Structure 1
Amino acid sequence: MKELLTLGSVAFLVIGCATIVNDPMIPVTATFSDGSGGKCEFQNKRGLWNSDIPGTAMIRRSDDPLVYRCETEDGRKATGSFVSKIEGEKLGASVLFLDLGITDAITDKHRYYQGNVVIPIKKEEEQKTK
């Protein structure tokens, strides 16, 4: 019985928990493709953030796309989204250590968005013709 208890304790210590300890917020630096200034609204299922462009916003990690709605200082608009990606190494560690990433699936801490994004913005002439 003592050996079984010792074996169980050792197994528990070796397996441990592979929960990811990433910060829930990540910086996303955005610029417009033509270098102009303006404002953007970023949104995912975890929240909504406003940022001056060019600039950096702290965005909550999520497994859904990061949607942006932007407007330049001269009134041109741009909308779109960026995909959420998985940090493969950290997800692999969760599976390897039998944690299966349950906590991470709930908190989305294994996800990230590209850190530097360029938001395509049409030139004034192109905007007026459409």
Structure 2
Amino acid sequence: MLHYLPEWSPKVSKLLLIFGSFALIGCATITNDAMIPVTFSFSNGENGTCNLRNKRWAQQVSIPSSVMVRRSDDGLQYDCTTGSGKKSFGQISSETDATKFGASILFIDLGITDAITDKHRTYQSNIVLPVAK
């Protein structure tokens, strides 16, 4: 049997390995899940409920709890009521995962897919919702 394999120089092999590795680890769409865990609690320690939403997801949740939240480029809006009837509402800003963004620019895809899926965005992992005393 005669097998033909191209003879690549070691430099070409190393470059292909490096670019192939970065192509797989640089894109947030490949490496990040669409949902991220976020823990919520009230500043006064009470229990209650919240309506959470962003442009890609909405859910009513009990507080305190840990919730899987859909990544989005807009803020996570909350409208909450404690067990004693106190209200809390506002918005939590989403943040960009800078390492994924940098890799996207460096390797020329410019984060187009990440911008469409919002998988390069994140929210704080532990959020204390303010409640008036």
Ranges in structure 1 where 5+ consecutive residues have no aligned partner: 1-5, 124-130
Percent identity for Structure 1 against Structure 2: 50
8 A contact 1:50–1:57 mirrored in 2: no
Tell me the distance in 2 between the aligned counterparts of 1:105 and 1:15: 21
After TM superposition, the structure 1 stretch with the greater mean CA deviation from structure 2, 87-96 or 9-18, is 9-18
Q: Partners in 1 of 2:16 and 2:77 — Cα distance?
A: 42
TM-score (norm 1): 0.82
Q: Residues 69-104 of structure 1, C-alpha deviation per residue, up to 9 Å, x if partnerless? A: 000011111100100000001110111111111100
The whole-number CA distance in structure 2 between the counterparts of 1:88 and 1:28 is: 19
How many residues align? The count is 116
Structure 1 residue 15: deviation in Å? Answer: 4.2
Q: Letter of the aligned partner of 2:99 in structure 1?
A: E
Cα deviation 1:6-58 (Å, max 9, x = unaligned): 8xx97777545332120000011010000000011110000101211110111
Structure 2 residues not aligned, in runs of 5+: 1-7
Q: Which residue of 2 aligns with 1:49?
A: 59
Give the Cα–Cα distance (whole angstroms) in 1 for the partners of residues 18 and 131 of structure 2: 52
List aligned pairs for 1:1-130, cutoff 5 A. 15-16=19-20, 17=23, 18-20=26-28, 21-123=31-133
